[in-house]
Amino acid sequence: MTSQPEHHSTVARRAVLGTALGGAAAAALPGTASAEELARKAPSAVDAERARPWKLRSTMTTDDAWETFLRRQDLLWTRLPTRWYEGPFLGDGLLGSMIYQEPGANRIRFTVQHGRVQDHRPEFGSGWGTCRLPVGHLTLEPVGTITAVDWRLSLWNAELTGTVTTSAGTLTLSALIHDEVLAVKVRASGDERAVWTFHPEEAVSPRKIQEGPPEGYTPNPPWTTRTTSDGTEQVLQPLTGGQTATAYRRDGEELLLSVGHSAPSTTAAEADSLRTLRRAGSYSTLRKRHTRWWHAFYQKSFVSFPDQRLQSFHWIQLYKVASASRAGGPVMATSGPWLEPTPWPAVWWNLNVQLEYWLIHGSNHLELDSLATTLRQNQEQLIANVPAAYRGDSSGVGRSSDMFANRSVGRPGTGAEVGDLTWALHNVWLSYRHSMDKALLRDTVFPVLRRAINYYLHFLTPGSDGKLHLPSTLSPEYPVVPPQDTNYDLALIRWGCRTLIESAELLGIEDESKPRWQEVLAKLTPYPVDDNGFMIGADTPYAQSHRHYSHLLMVYPLYLVNWDQPESRDLISKSIVHWHALTGAHRGYSYTGAASMYAMTGDGDTAISYLRKFFDPSTRYPCQANTHYTEAGPVIETPLSASQSLHDMFCQSWGGVIRVFPAVPTAWADVTLHDFRTQGAFLVSAVRKGGTTRFIRVRSLAGEPLKLRHGLGGRLTVLLDDGTPARTRDLGDGTLAIDLPKGREVLVHSGSRPDLVIAPVTVSEPGPAWGLP
């Protein structure tokens, strides 16, 4: 039987470690100075070794240092972008703007879109009835013909600055978005002048680019305009069951704009947009609040590695995700807050939303988790999504929905796609594991996951082999008749039942369903496999190219079948190889997913080779000039998942073990991590130089048991932050259990103490800036 990674309760883990580590005479890792060894030394040696408190020294502690470092990651433009995937982008988690040339005109477009603006007619489905709706766009209209631009998107200040040169003079501009206000400042010189026009856009689904509306659909009413007594212009867009209002005003060189949306109120947005605009003040006052937020944001973690192009990409993704999402706001749609004509104007739950949020965990930015807050706030809707007969104990969500998760889910046995809510809850579980916030476990993970798994349990039936089987369900988005026992759902059922058992123990709940969860784990049919590895489902091999890795969830990101199980390695390897051997349907996230899977195996060179396919312009669906991505329309998930692939090369924490530098590519001899957040709520700092790990520092935020796979050789030193030796235990396979109380730090290194310095590494692989430099 295949072994599984450890998921013991907190109490159980502490009991084990307490027994193994208790007392001053705890056994130490061979080669590590234990308390007993120190006691046998001369007093002067004991004092010298114990009385050397240590402290990290970071060069990244001042605004100047951060500004200098991030300036090297900025996006640049010396050519005028002509498409959304070439231009600068601004956002605050709600309001968003893309900047590029107005198609076919001598103007510059600033799109105006908002993550809360959607239709409210669920009878027409998520593609038309509850889709995100366009708001409008501004155009900057110069007098002369545009001849050149020189723009910089400053990551440090989250601000676009630069010039537009025309045949009549120069426009010097700066722009930012903060607190749902787009603020632009333009100074004209020569014979130039800044002329602004706001263009409202029809409140209709962006899917109109590829299809007509459903039967019975009626257009939303037309917008109206008004001017307030203080000269503010407003565009009011009535909706069935809501309202959108855009307010904007000019004040000399400055233009400020805000968007309000209300539902079910058909009038509240009007006042909201005016209130937001008036609260903003001027460009300079808004900018002070804006830069204060962003400067604090970046300093929560740090990573540096020697590939300039990918290093910049990573920092741009942090800027992007913070521009697109904030906890308490709407869950990201497939294009984030930068809505454009697209077939995907909704939230997609069968891969997109999961990939969008993975990077927030390691980068220490749980404040961006709008997925967790969306599921917590919409539990009644998740119940209403399942057929009426199952609402007493079940929940679910269909493939795509609005920001309130409003989309019904079909029944197993009908070929329906059933597992998407459970997979989304794995993301929320990760947020719990990275924070150890029991409120998140109690109020969201446990109650919603319990209902999601209950829905499955209604349909599991015993077969003649004594195993429990699942009737036909869809493996997203494999284009065959849906099979029984899809690996997508079997993996999610196993993960869900195990997580419910563990969660109940952590919360002190004696749940009546626990025996059923245990029975399912004992009797659920094994994953269908053949000579090529994991199949799609029973009697359905993986036989045609597939962009999703739905059939491999047990490998990644669930890690139920993983590289720590020697008996699973051949199955994992041939499954990944066969997935990519059938070509034609692969997309960008096919490459980022493979990169993360190879990182799990410890093969950094193969991992980076797959990741680079996403950046190869000859690939059919590569990363675009401004790091955005397109599949028939703008989609946001794949570049964000590429950052997670980098995380997986630098630090992993699945199965209760923190793995430092587990799959760094050979070419990257130097890497610096600082305050990288892991499961168990640890902050990891580590430095790799010349291909060798120099030191690891771990800080415990929650007092969880620490198991560290350190990758160090030779005689180890393991010291607490007061300089005393930590109690340790060798777990084998290069893994060390360390007794680390909450709020304390531990330093691990080999040989003499290295310089404990956190600093950017030297770039050895130069590359051009992103944008159009």
Q: Is 607 helix (H, G, I), strand (E, B) or coil?
A: helix
Cis peptide before 477 (omega within 30 of 0): yes
- The hierarchical CATH code for the domain 10-60+659-758 is 2.60.40.1180
Indicate the pLDDT class of residue 627, thresholds 50, 70 and 90.
Answer: very high
Q: What is the 3-state secondary structure (H, E, C) of 80-128?
A: CCCCCCCCCEEECCCEEEEEEECCCCCCEEEEEEECCCECCCHHHHHHH
Q: pLDDT value at position 632?
A: 87
Q: Is the pLDDT assigned to residue 7 strictly greater than 60?
A: no
Q: Is the pLDDT assigned to residue 38 strictly greater than 90?
A: no
Residue 702, token pair as written in the block: 């929650």
Burial per residue of 294-304, b for 16 or more beta-carbon CB atoms within 10 angstroms, e otherwise: bbebbbbbbbb
User: Are the CB atoms for 698 and 728 separated by under 8 Å?
Assistant: no
| Helical ranges in 601-731 per DSSP H | 604-615, 637-650
Measured CA to CA, the distance from residue 97 to residue 110 in angstroms comes to 6
Q: pLDDT value at position 48?
A: 45
Residue 381, token pair as written in the block: 């809707």
Q: Facing residues of 699 across strands? A: 683, 745
Q: Is the pLDDT assigned to residue 47 strictly greater than 60?
A: no
Measured CA to CA, the distance from residue 608 to residue 590 in angstroms comes to 13
Report pTM.
0.93
User: Are the CB atoms for 342 and 209 separated by under 8 Å?
Assistant: yes
Rounded to 5 degrees, what are φ and ψ at 344? Answer: -120, 60
Please give the average per-residue pLDDT across 524-536, as a whole number. Answer: 98
What is the widest separation between alpha-carbon atoms in the chain?
A: 89
Measured CA to CA, the distance from residue 375 to residue 365 in angstroms comes to 18
User: Residue 497: enclosing H or E segment and its boundaries?
Assistant: helix 487-507
Please give the average per-residue pLDDT across 518-534, as a whole number. Answer: 98
| pLDDT tens digits, 505-515 | 999 999 999 99
- The hierarchical CATH code for the domain 369-575 is 1.50.10.10
User: Are the CB atoms for 646 and 307 separated by under 8 Å?
Assistant: no
Report which DSSP code applies to 528: P
Cα dihedral 23/27/33/39 (nearest 10):
50
Q: pLDDT value at position 378?
A: 98
Q: Is the pLDDT assigned to residue 17 strictly greater than 60?
A: no
Please give the average per-residue pLDDT across 137-143, as a whole number. Answer: 98
Q: Facing residues of 176 across strands? A: 183
Contacts of 512 (CB under 8 A, 6+ apart): none
Mean pLDDT of the chain: 93
Residue 281, token pair as written in the block: 């003040």
Q: Facing residues of 569 across strands? A: none
Please give the average per-residue pLDDT across 337-351, as a whole number. Answer: 96
Question: Cα(first)–Cα(last) distance of the chain, in Å?
Answer: 55
Strands 75-77 and 771-772, sheet pairing: parallel
Contacts of 218 (CB under 8 A, 6+ apart): none
Q: Facing residues of 233 across strands? A: 227, 248
Q: Facing residues of 136 across strands? A: 112, 200
Q: pLDDT value at position 30?
A: 34
Q: pLDDT value at position 45?
A: 37
Q: pLDDT value at position 35?
A: 36
Please give the average per-residue pLDDT across 421-448, as a whole number. Answer: 98
| pLDDT tens digits, 681-699 | 999 999 999 999 999 999 9
CA angle 324, 329, 333 (to 5 degrees): 50
Cis peptide before 264 (omega within 30 of 0): yes
Residue 245, token pair as written in the block: 């209002």
Please give the average per-residue pLDDT across 707-731, as a whole number. Answer: 96
- The hierarchical CATH code for the domain 82-298 is 2.70.98.50
Measured CA to CA, the distance from residue 553 to residue 735 in angstroms comes to 26
| pLDDT tens digits, 667-680 | 999 999 999 999 99
DSSP per-residue codes, 644-664: HHHHHHHEE-GGG-EEESSS-
Q: Is the pLDDT assigned to residue 595 strictly greater than 60?
A: yes
Measured CA to CA, the distance from residue 644 to residue 546 in angstroms comes to 21
Please give the average per-residue pLDDT across 67-76, as a whole number. Answer: 98
- Helices 308-324 and 637-650, packing angle to 10 deg: 120
Contacts of 685 (CB under 8 A, 6+ apart): 56, 673, 674, 675, 676, 696, 697, 698, 699, 758
Domain boundaries, the chain: 10-60+659-758, 82-298, 369-575
Measured CA to CA, the distance from residue 217 to residue 123 in angstroms comes to 9
Please give the average per-residue pLDDT across 30-40, as a whole number. Answer: 39
Residue 183, CA atoms < 13 Å, CB-side half-sphere: 26
